[in-house]
Amino acid sequence: MRVWTEDLEGAAEGERVHLCDLDWSGTSSGYPERKRHIDALRGGAQGYGVVCAKGKPGSGGTARIKSFDREALLRLGSVHEDGRRLYSQVADRVPVNTLARRQTAESTLIPDLAALLKKGTTTEALVKTRVGQGQFRTDVLDLWGGRCCVTGIETQEAIRASHIKPWKDSTDEERLDPHNGLPLAGTLDGLFDSGLITFAPDGTLLVSRKLSVEERERLGIEGAKLLRAPAGRTADYLAHHRQEMFVDRPRPNRTAP
């Protein structure tokens, strides 16, 4: 979640973030995504904030990012009301270098944003996509009827728009291509992002041998599959995920010199 520097406040119980005013309406273009994130936080989901400084407003007066904190992310905690405002407690400031030990969506967020701020025409759309907002998420959900593409759940707060071909390996066009995305429930998204699951050409869910039988049963993923067989560009992106990301992908034979 994007957090503006002026929305950070000190309080008796510690640092907190002003999320929105309670009478905030849906007229803002960022309202739907912000509301989804707030609802997820209220439901107990783990959220992170990127602290950003505002630059000169864009067309229509929309705030733009001038710079951001490259050293740490905010781990957001409980949500509460104070007067006519809604806040989230800052549970912790997480140093980026501790996240970088393992390549995850969180650990690569800061360098990705730093690179994007050096770009030109598509920067705003790319930044919103990278922090889980904007048109990419909307388009990915539309392709799958607003549901998780495996479980079929429709609770938007529990669904993430996950890139199939990883962000770091994609071109800007691929990063914004909804066919390079799957709407996955949170746990499935984590497994997919880590290469512990992938999908066969017919949509069957493939599970890494790293996950024990007991773990598979607890996760309820045995025998799962996509709601429909992938086709077109989605099938091509999934082929890349199987070949490059899946933990149990076949390794090429290497002949000793």
Q: pTM of the predicted model, to two decimals?
A: 0.56
Find the distance separating the first CA and the last CA of the chain, reported in whole Å.
51
- Tokens for 155, please give them: 């609770």
Structure tokens at 30: 């960022």
Rounded mean pLDDT of 120-134?
60
* 150 closest CA partner among 194, 191, 178: 191
What are the percentages of helix, strand and coil residues in the chain, rounded to 5?
A: 35, 25, 40
Contact 231, 222 (CB under 8 A): no
pLDDT given for residue 117 in this prediction: 58
Mean pLDDT taken over the chain = 81
Residue 254 belongs to some domain of the structure: no
Residues 72, 8, single domain; the answer is yes
* Domain coverage including residue 14: 1-132
User: Are 34 and 112 contained in the same domain?
Assistant: yes
Mean pLDDT within 141-158: 91
Say whether pLDDT at 255 is over 60.
no
Extract the tokens encoding 143: 């392709």
Angle between helices 134-143 and 123-130 (to 10 degrees): 60
Distance CA 63, CA 61 (A): 6
Whether 122 and 156 map to the same domain: the answer is: no
Amino acid at 53: A
CA distance 155 to 161: 13
Q: Which helix (H) or strand (E) holds 87?
A: strand 85-95
Confidence of residue 109 (pLDDT cuts 50, 70, 90): low
Query: Does residue 140 lie in a domain region?
Result: no
Residue 239 lies in a domain: yes
Q: How many domains does the chain have?
A: 2
Which of 88-97, 149-158, 191-200 has the lowest average pLDDT? 88-97
Report pLDDT for 136: 84
Q: Given this model, what pLDDT does residue 101 score? A: 47
